[in-house]
Amino acid sequence: MRSIRQEFAVPFQYNVYFTRNIFDAGNELFATLLTPGKGQPPKKVLFVLDEGLTEHHPELFNNIKIYALRQSQAFRLVPEPVVIPGGEKAKNDPRHIQVILEAINREGIDRHSFIAVAGGGAVIDAAGYAAGIAHRGVRLIRIPTTVLAQNDAAVGVKNGVNAFGKKNFLGTFVPPFTVINDSKFLETLDQRDWTSGISEAVKVALLKDPGFFNFLSQNSQKLRNRNKEAMEKLIFRCAELHLDHISTSGDPFERGSSRPLDFGHWAAHKLEQLTDYELRHGEAVAIGLALDVTYSMLRGMITEEACTQILETLKNYGFKLWVSQLESKLDDPANENSLLHGLEEFREHLGGKLTIMLLEGIGKGVEVNSVDYDIYRKAIEKLEVFESKNEEMINMK
Amino acid sequence: MRSIRQEFAVPFQYNVYFTRNIFDAGNELFATLLTPGKGQPPKKVLFVLDEGLTEHHPELFNNIKIYALRQSQAFRLVPEPVVIPGGEKAKNDPRHIQVILEAINREGIDRHSFIAVAGGGAVIDAAGYAAGIAHRGVRLIRIPTTVLAQNDAAVGVKNGVNAFGKKNFLGTFVPPFTVINDSKFLETLDQRDWTSGISEAVKVALLKDPGFFNFLSQNSQKLRNRNKEAMEKLIFRCAELHLDHISTSGDPFERGSSRPLDFGHWAAHKLEQLTDYELRHGEAVAIGLALDVTYSMLRGMITEEACTQILETLKNYGFKLWVSQLESKLDDPANENSLLHGLEEFREHLGGKLTIMLLEGIGKGVEVNSVDYDIYRKAIEKLEVFESKNEEMINMK
C-alpha cells in the first residue's frame, strides 16, 4: 500500500491595539489598517453592531459614517450595519447568523473585504462565526466593548454559536485580522458588566503571573470604583497573558486533550446552564474559580492562607461565590441536573479523558486527570460557610 | 497607543493512503488509523455516505458493520449512517448539513470522535463542512470514491456548500484527519464519471509536470478503456502534485490574491452555472482548459503545435470542447449571462485584482493580471472550428 504524507504549517499574525475614541477624526488607526495597497481599490467594510452598544452609543454609526467619508481613500462603508442583540441571545438564534450572511451576499463582501464587529463577547463570537464560514473566511476586525471581551473573549482564535441547546456547538478556529480595544466604550458599561470580566483576569493571573494577582488583589477597591488607568492596566496584562498562552502553548487550535485556560470553567459552564444564563459568564467563572481553588487547598496543593486570599479577592470585586445550584452537590454526578455532572460533560467535551486545571500555588497551575467527588462536596460546603460569614461581616458593617 | 503583536503557526499533517477493499477483513488500515492510545476507550465513528455509492454498493454499510464488530477494540461504529444525495444536490440543500449536525449531536460525536465520509467530491465537501463547524472541528476521514474526488477534490484542505445560488458560498479551510483512496470503488463508476475527473489531471500536468502530461497524452486509449493500473498511476500522481502544491505554495489557506491551481476554472465555473450544472465539474474544466490553452497560443505564449496536442489529448478522453453557451462570446462581458462575465466574477472572488493562470509551455504555468476580451473571442472561435473538424473526422471514420 502506498501513501503520501502531507505536512505544512499555516502562519497567523494579528495585532491587538489599545486605543481610545476609535472613530474620532484624529484617530487614524482604523483607516490605516484598511488602507489598500498601491493601485488597489478601497476595501468594503460591513459593520455588525451589538444592539446594547447602539443603545448606549446612539451616535456610534453616524460617527462611523462621518469617519468613513473622511477616509474614503482607505475603505468603503456598507451604508447599513447589521444590528444583533447582545448577550447569549446573539448566539442562541441562528437567524442572526443568517442576517449577517445575507448582508455579506447582498453587499458583495468577499475574502478581501472586511467585517468589523463591535460589541460584547457573544456578538463578537457570532459575527466571527458568520465571517469565518462565508467564502471560507472573510477578514474580521473585532472591536470588543466590554471588559470580558477586551481582556479575553475577543483576543483569541475561537468563535462560535450555540445549537441543540449546547454552548458553542457550532464554531471555527479562525484568528481575526485585527483586534481594537477602545477604552472609551467601557465607560458606559453598567456596574455588573464592568466587574464581571475581572474574573478572567483573576483566573489567568492565578495560573501564570503572581505579580498580576497581587495587583488584582490590591486594587479591587480602585477597580470597583471604575478607575480607568487600573482597568486599562488590567485589560492589557490579561489580554497579553491570553495571547501569550495561545502562541506558546503549542496547541493554538486545541487539538489535544487539555484546555489549560479553562481553569474553573467546568463548573462555570455548568452553572451558567443550571441558572439558565442568569449568571453571566464572568460571574460563573468567579464561582468556578472559588470552587477549584478551595478543592486545590483541600487536596493540600495550596495553603489555606493562599486559598483565603483568593476567595477574598474575588469577594472584594463583589462576586457571589455561592448560588443555590451548588446545593446539588449531594446529587448523583450521573444526574444531568447536578453540578458535578459538569465534570462528566467536560470530560466528554475533551474527548474522553478528563483533564482539569488546579492550583499548586498562586501563579502556578497544574493539570490533573482525576478528581474526588467527596472532596468537591467538601469544597462546596466550605464555600457556603465562607459566603455566609462574609455576608454576616457585610451586614455587621 | 499600545499594541500586542500575536504570531504563531499551526502545523497540519495528514496521510493520503492508496488501498483496495478498505473494509475487507484482511485490510487493517482503517482500524489501525483509529486505534486509541493506551488506556483510552475506542473512538466513535459516524459514517456519512453518498446515496449514489450505496446504490452501486448496497452491501457497503453491512460490510462496514462486520468490519467494526471485528475491530471493536479500535473503534465504535454509530449504528446508522447518514445518507445524503450525491452530486451538487448534496451542496445545494442546507437540510443535508442539518441532518449531519443532528446526528453529531444525537450520537455524542466530539472533537476526538471521527466522521468518515465516503462518496463523490460534493458529498465529501458537504460532510467536511459539517464536520468542520461542529464543536469547532470533528476529525474527518475522507474516503473519496470517484476519480475527481480521489485525485483532486478530497485530497486538499477546503470544504464547503452552496448558498444564495453561489458555489461554495459557505465553507472552511480544515485539513482532513486522513484520506483513504480505495481503487475498488472506481470500478462501478459510469463511464462519464470515470473520465470526467481526468481533466484535473491534465490541468495539473500542464502546470507542473510535462512527463505526466506525456503519460496522459499517450495513454488516453488505455485509460478510456478502464485500465486499472493506468488509472491508479494517474490518480497517485495527480494527488501528489496537488498535495505538493498545497504544502509548498506558501499559501495553503489561500489568503493571497492568486489561485494557481484554478487554471481553466474561471470559464469552468461559469459554464457549470450557465449549463445549470448539466456539465459536470470535470467536463467544464476540460472546456475551460481548452479555452485558456488556445488563448495562451493566440498570445504567442505557447506554440500552435503544443496547443493542438493539448486539445487533441482532451478530445481523446471524449471531452466535448464546445457547448452552445460559448456562443455568448459576443455579449457584453458586463452581461451576467455571458461567458466572459466569468472573468469579472473570478476577479471579484479573488478580491479585486484579476489573476489568472495561463501556459508558457507544457508543464509551465504563468500568472497574468489582465486579459484581452477580443483574443478570448478569437479563442472561442478557434475552439468551435477545432470541435467541428473533429466531429467531421469522427463521422468520417
Residue B329 has pLDDT above 80, yes or no: no
The one-letter amino acid at B368: V
Coil, helix or strand for A180? Answer: strand
DSSP B187: G
Average pLDDT, whole number, for chain B?
A: 94
Q: Which residues of A31-50 are buried (b: 16+ CB within 10 A; e: fewer)?
A: bebbeeeeeeebbbbbbbbb
Judge contact between A61 and A49, C-beta under 8 A: yes
Amino acid in the structure at residue B62? N
Ordered by where they begin, the domains of chain A are 15-188 (3.40.50.1970), 195-396 (1.20.1090.10)
Nearest to A68 by CA among A101, A19, A124, A22: A22
Residue B120, CA atoms < 13 Å, CB-side half-sphere:
26
Nearest residue to A7 via CA among B356, B157, B89, B102: B157
pLDDT at B311 over 90: yes
Give the per-residue pLDDT at A348. Answer: 78
Sort B187 into a burial class: Cβ within 10 Å, 0-12 / 13-18 / 19+: exposed
Residues of chain A found within 8 Å of residue B353, distances taken between Cβ atoms: 40
pLDDT in tens, B127-143: 999 999 999 999 999 99
The number of C-alpha atoms within 13 Å of B124 and in the hemisphere containing its C-beta is 29
DSSP-derived secondary structure letter, B35: P
pLDDT given for residue B247 in this prediction: 94
A chain contacts of residue B12, beta-carbon cutoff 8 Å: 6-10
Query: Which chain B residue lies closest to A138 (C-alpha atoms)?
Result: B255
How many other CB atoms sit within 10 Å of the CB of residue A328? 18
Give the pLDDT score at B40: 81
CA distance B321 to B387: 6
Give the residue among A165, A96, A181 at the shortest CA–CA distance from A131: A96
The Cα–Cα gap between B201 and B197 comes to 7
- CA B301 – CA B358 distance, rounded (Å): 8
**Do A139 and A114 form a contact (C-beta atoms < 8 A)?**
yes
For B165-189, the pLDDT digits (tens) are 888 999 999 999 999 999 999 999 9
Of the partner residues B10, B105, B173, the one whose CB lies closest to the CB of residue A252: B10
B4 to A254: CB separation less than 8 angstroms, yes or no? no
pLDDT band at B277 (very low <50, low <70, confident <90, very high): confident
Asked if A16 and A243 touch (Cβ cutoff 8 Å), the reply is yes
Q: What angle do CA A355, A360, A366 make, to 5 degrees?
A: 25
Answer whether residue B393 shows pLDDT above 80.
no
Size of interface A-B (CB pairs under 8 A): 193
Residue B397 has pLDDT above 80, yes or no: no
**Which pLDDT does position A397 carry in this prediction?**
61
Q: What was the pLDDT predicted at A52?
A: 96
Write the DSSP symbol of residue A370: -
Picking from A65, A128, A139, A64, the residue whose alpha carbon sits closest to that of residue A96 is A128
Query: Is A325 in contact with A297 (CB distance < 8 Å)?
Result: no
Q: Are B5 and A239 in contact (CB under 8 A)?
A: no
Q: How far apart are the first and last CA of chain B?
A: 78
Residues of chain A with pLDDT under 50: none
Checking if the pLDDT of B269 tops 70, the result is yes
Q: Do A1 and B19 touch (CB under 8 A)?
A: yes
pLDDT for res A392: 78
Are residues B84 and B48 in contact, defined by beta-carbon separation less than 8 angstroms? yes
Strands B356-361 and B364-368: antiparallel
Question: For residue B134, what is the DSSP state?
Answer: B
Residue B245 is predicted with a pLDDT of 95
Q: Given an 8 Å threshold on Cβ–Cβ distance, is A170 in contact with B246? A: no
Contact A11 B9 (CB under 8 A): yes
Average pLDDT over residues B8-36: 96
Find the mean pLDDT for residues B299-321.
Answer: 97
| Low-confidence winner among A282-291, B3-12, B267-276 (lowest mean pLDDT) | B267-276
Question: Which of B137, B164, B173 is facing A136, going by the closest CB pair?
Answer: B173
Q: Which chain A residues contact residue B257 at CB under 8 A? A: 112
Handedness of CA A262, A267, A272, A276 (dihedral sign): positive
Residue A95 C-alpha from the chain's centroid: 23
At B135, give phi and psi (nearest 5°): 50, 30
Q: What is the complex's ipTM, to 2 decimals? A: 0.94
